Structure 1
Amino acid sequence: MNKSQLVEAIALDANITRVEARKAIDALIRTTVQTLREGDRLSLTGLGTFCVQLKAERVGRNPRTGAAVKIPSRKVIKFRPTAEIE
């Protein structure tokens, strides 16, 4: 399912227009990104939890040459689904 299909499904389920559904989804995405940028976690009951995790620096290999390459540390978004989806 892509974003436009999600908008359509929410509009039908909530009995609202597609424009209203798109605004709601856009607001959800903006709020989620803002929350994660601030370092907080976002828990959605029945779906799961989003959080930011720091991936440590590591050494990788260039697939062409086999030479060692240093991969810097970085922040990644981690999602842990709810144990039981209804």
Structure 2
Amino acid sequence: MVPEPNSLMAKSYLILDEHLRFLDRSGQQPSGSILQVEVQKALASVFWDVDSFYERGGIYEWTAPKGELSYPSTDVAKQLDW
């Protein structure tokens, strides 16, 4: 468990519903299903605070030993293709 302040958490997560649609934080309009549209197109239709995602350490090493999170450098994070 990683404690996070609401200011970083509020819009820095991507949430998929049961139809694999990204949910917009306003709750007004979900994206198209990623089964039917490209992920980039679906992401473009909802708000996601990428800067807050990086600030809260949203990218970490998935192979870290249990209980130990390892955050990559900013350079490594920027190389990821969203």
Q: Does TM, normalized by the shorter one, top 0.5?
A: no
**Which protein, 1 or 2, shows the higher relative CO under an 8 Å CA cutoff with sep ≥ 6?**
2
* TM-score, length basis structure 1: 0.24
| CA radius of gyration, larger in | 1
Q: Which has the higher helix share?
A: 1
* TM-score, length basis structure 2: 0.24
